[in-house]
Structure 1
Amino acid sequence: MDKRETISEEISDIKKEINTYINSKIDLTKLQAAEDLSRFVSGIAVKLVLFYIGLFVLLFVSMAGAFAIGSYTQSNEIGFIAVAGIYFLIAIIFYLLKGKLIQTPVIKSFIQLFFPNFSKYDKE
């Protein structure tokens, strides 16, 4: 063999290795994206189920509280108005503290989901 054939074969081998490497990186990226997406979707599904269960619990506890207050005051209307007033106050407090209660935890959870090794945001 002459040098040209040897160099040609080596270049051909290098091209095959590069193609194999690129295809492996693409497959790895796809797998990582699928893992992140499945973790995100399953997290949303769990949170939705817990939300609906919590909503029903809250509904029945609220009704029980309203009837209890109504029984105490001899007026169901006052009981339901009192429970509505409590929820209105909670809504106002929640609105005023929305940055700390909603925005920061959501941002942190997204950062943790997509960048598990990134912890700088936790220190701020």
Structure 2
Amino acid sequence: MKSSDTIMQSAGEAYGYAKSYIEQQIEYTKLDLAERISIAISTAVSTVVVALLFLMVLGFLSLAGGFFLAQRLGSPGKAFLIVSGIYALIAILALLFRRALITNPVLSRIIKIFFE
């Protein structure tokens, strides 16, 4: 009887250790996932803030360029049409090369954050 009691006690201890290990692994996974999500969100927020600031600067530079061209050309309409044409050309190029310029770098960054 003593050996069966010892076996049962050892099995109970092993079960307790296994249960504790699994619970700790679940907690670790939760913390790891929370950290990765936090990094991804903070990266996205900081990217949006920097992009908005860049767009503000770009807007003012566009206005300055438009007014400069208006003085040179003598026609504000033509000047701002040229500035708009430049942006249209940039938009078409970005659309044509969107995979290399936008999709691949974003995917690489996200994969790096989650699988680092």
Same fold (TM over 0.5): yes
For 2:104 and 2:40, the matched residues in 1 are separated by: 18
1:61-114 Cα deviation digits (max 9, x unpaired): 000000000011111111111100100111111111111111211121122111
For 1:98 and 1:12, the matched residues in 2 are separated by: 59
Flag as ranges the 4+ runs of structure 1 deviating above 3 A. none
Please say if 1:22 is aligned against 2:22.
Answer: yes
Please say if 1:31 is aligned against 2:41.
Answer: no
Q: CA RMSD in A?
A: 1.1
Please say if 1:47 is aligned against 2:47.
Answer: yes
Please say if 1:6 is aligned against 2:30.
Answer: no
Q: Larger helix proportion, structure 1 or 2?
A: 2
For 1:75 and 1:5, the matched residues in 2 are separated by: 99
Partner of 2:79: 79
Could you tell me the TM-score, scaled by structure 1's length? 0.89
- Look up the SS of the partner of 1:27 in the other structure: helix
Structure 2 unaligned runs (5+)? none
- Structure scoring higher RCO (CA < 8 A, sep ≥ 6) equals 2
Structure 1 unaligned runs (5+)? 117-124
For 1:2 and 1:88, the matched residues in 2 are separated by: 86
Please say if 1:107 is aligned against 2:113.
Answer: no
Could you tell me the TM-score, scaled by structure 2's length? 0.95
Please say if 1:69 is aligned against 2:99.
Answer: no
